[in-house]
Amino acid sequence: AALLAASTAAADYPEKPVTVIVPFAAGGPTDKVARDLAEALRKPLGATIIIENVGGVGGTLGANKVAKAAPDGYTLLLHHIGIASATALYRTLPYKTLEDFEYLGMINEVPMTLIGRPNLPANNYAELSKWLESNKGNINLAHAGVGSASHLCGLLYQSAIKIDMTTVPYKGTAPAMNDLLGGQVDIMCDQTTNTTGQIEAGKVKAYAVMSSKRLSSGALAKLPTADESGLKGFNLAVWHGLYAPKGTPKAVIDKVNAALRVALKDADFHKREEALGAVIINDARLAPAEHKKFVEAEINKLSPVIKAAGIYAD
């Protein structure tokens, strides 16, 4: 009878609002992607989408909440590269990345930018490097918790330039950006979904794009890549995907995946995301199996780099 109930529930899915957990504070880049996507997903999925921000511990609190949620399709997770990097950064994660989630498809890739507080006395990458050298031991790098994209970028940047910094964690890069704008912290790596507006308004110093190619739009087109600036081969872009608890019925997974594919073609979604430097995924990784394979490959790629940098969150 329970099996019958579950299969009819799956067939009738969705019959009530669907909650998408964002594992970072409202107003940040992950939240931005989630709210943009929710707009485009509502119609094809046929459900009201509720965004719930569950920040903390580099996104692992929110991820764990979904891993432990009822596998009925009404609690989903929108997460980024942190779902892979946390696997290497935490010795005791409360969930298993490749076993405790169903993979519903990938969403986009977002470049990272290296920015500084508005009054930082360095106006380009070379001047920043000099300033960092002369302020060794007194540099504050903001990020969104160990396991976040901003932390991963900051970690890789520190080990690439061999300058240790004090890392200041926040529940997301929205609150981190407030302190950067206020001059409480010095630099931060963050996604263009969160930094484009500030850079174009001249509210922060902008030093480099941390992914492999320059950005095309507006003020960001002037930004050199880290590779051009001397960090040979530095390339970190933040990808986002959608997840459900393990055991979510295949009929539900297929419905969400089909709706996601329609949402990602939505013109308004494209316009909003591309204006902020994001690139919408349009390849095999839209399929759950390929999405999962990609995350596994990212775990295998990031783990040795993170271990070489010698840090663990716990």
Contact residues for 240 (Cβ-Cβ < 8 A; gap 6+) = 30, 33, 78, 79, 80, 106, 107, 108, 109, 110
Collapsing DSSP to helix, strand or coil, 267 comes out as: helix
Binding-residue pattern over the window 229 to 258 for ligand MLT, x denoting contact by CB under 6 A: ------------------------------
- Distance of alpha carbon 174 from alpha carbon 97, whole angstroms: 25
- Three-point CA angle 128, 213, 285, nearest 5°: 125
Compute the least distance from the CB of residue 172 to ligand MLT, in Å.
3
Does the footprint of ligand MLT cover residue 30 (CB under 6 A)?
yes
Taking the least distance from each CB to ligand MLT, the nearer of 58 and 71 is 58
Encoded tokens for 276: 């902020």
Note whether 154 binds ligand MLT by CB under 6 A. Answer: no
Counting contacts by CB under 6 A, is residue 149 touching ligand MLT? yes
Residue 154 token pair: 């900051």
CA-to-CA distance for 143 and 155, rounded, in angstroms?
10
Provide, rounded to whole angstroms, the least separation between the CB of residue 115 and ligand MLT.
13
Total residues in contact with ligand MLT, by rule CB under 6 A? 15
| CA–CA separation, 114 and 64 (whole Å) | 29
Binding string, residues 36-75; x marks residues near ligand MLT by CB under 6 A: ----------------------------------------
Least Å from the CB of residue 240 to ligand MLT: 9
Q: Which helix (H) or strand (E) holds 151?
A: helix 149-161
21 CA to centre of own chain: 13
By CB under 6 A, tell whether 24 contacts ligand MLT.
yes
277 binds ligand MLT (CB under 6 A): no
- Is residue 82 a contact residue for ligand MLT (CB under 6 A)? yes
**Positions that interact with ligand MLT (CB under 6 A):** 24-25, 28-31, 80, 82, 144, 148-150, 172-174
